Amino acid sequence: MRVVDLFCGAGGLSLGSMRAGMEIVGAIDSWDAAIEIYRRNIGDHVRHADIRDVVAVAPMVMDLRPILITGGPPCQDFSTAGLRVEGERAELMTAFAMTVAVVRPQWCLMENVARAQKSLTWARSREILKRAGYGITEIVVDASWYGVAQTRKRLIVVGRRDEADGFLAAEIDAARQARQTTIRDILGEDIGGQIDIHPSRYGCTADWPTDVPGRAPRTASQSSGVSDQQYIFVRPFGGGRGVRSIDEPAPALVRTSREPPAPGYLLNPSRLDLVPVSQVPHLSQQQTSLLQGFPKDWDWSPARRVRDIDQMIANAVPVALAEAIGRVILARHRGESVPATADGFSDWLKAQGVGGQVLRNRRHALGRARRLLGGRLYADIGEELRALEEANGFADLSPSTRSDLRAALRMHADWKASKKEEPVRRKAPRGHHRQV
């Protein structure tokens, strides 16, 4: 699968896609420092361009003949770590959608912050993709369930030409791991020495509070910086807990995550901190890089400013998340995965008077038709039936079997149409991913 990565940054999305088995044939960004790091670590196929200039960028991308265009447009205008005002940077999402619409690759993949899903910019960008013929799967995931040691919630948008909306949501959800990835999973037990600051330096002499659930009284071992359990400080953005057990995920990393606790936090630590903040280490830059999924030997030296490296790490699409989504896309592209038949289809068949063995036969025929279609879930039933007629092996089936497969696809299309007519949308159970 030939891939062009827009807004490639330091290369997190490209690296994850490569690990999934894709071929990165082009990458574009407008930040020279990030481009140099990308070139040093991934390859010379990266180019400098302002993606807002669609007239210049789209032909450049088209010449590379991508099957998939990926991108993580800058999210500060949507992020809780930003001003939450849709402005110039938010419009880069529209530029991404316009480039996809002009180039018309078979697939597109976009990553952004969860709150972008409710933005006017995404509504406009989605309409651009829909008019270009893309079926859209949009799902908010917690990256800690996909091999990333952060509770980083991100909007994943996957588009495919002529596909039905929501065509890949179940498979992305099924790619979740059995448990969340923890800090220990990535960093091991060697998390560094103690920080060299103490609240008393700032006039704080208050006793260690013990009226918090889960917090033990301060012991001699804690006073000496030794604990049966290991902790690390991850500087919270906008309030919240800073001390984290290494047996839980970190919060979503931002540029300042690795900074030591500020005087204000030392004077007034979170009541949810289970050990004194002055007695646990804080993250190093290499550790934030590892938590984002970059390998230990990733060369950040082309960047001249430490602050720039921190920003590139925070901006990156986590490598493990990119790999997990890439594998799901590649499996469907190769026809190795087939959409599961939703339980609602069986309920609808029963309401139509279809039951027993006939119902089971319909479900079986639908699955067989999907396999012949290579897992495709077309938006238009006419296109779907034409693709079925042209599928390898279909003509070799008996007339009755071919008729059954066509009927199953038509009934499934009728069921999808009936769902669109429902006046009330049911809310997903708590704890489930939000799917659209």
Non-local CB neighbours of 329 within 8 Å, separated by 6+ positions: 1, 20, 68, 107, 109, 158, 168
How many Cβ atoms sit within 10 Å of the Cβ of residue 72?
A: 25
Q: How far is CA 386 from CA 1, 152, 341, in A?
A: 25, 42, 21
- Of 363, 341, 346, the C-alpha closest to 407 is 363
- Of 185, 39, 374, the C-alpha closest to 24 is 39
d(CA 389, CA 267): 72
User: Which sign does the torsion angle of CA 395, 396, 398, 402 carry?
Assistant: negative
By CB atoms closer than 10 A (0-12, 13-18, 19+), residue 280 is buried
Tokens coding 179: 């448990």
H/E segment holding residue 348: helix 343-351
- Of 5, 76, 18, 2, the C-alpha closest to 295 is 18
Residue type, 45: H
Strands 107-113 and 434-435: unpaired
Non-local CB neighbours of 80 within 8 Å, separated by 6+ positions: 113, 115, 237, 238
Tokens coding 428: 């997903």
Active site residues: 75
Residue type, 398: S
H/E segment holding residue 231: strand 231-233
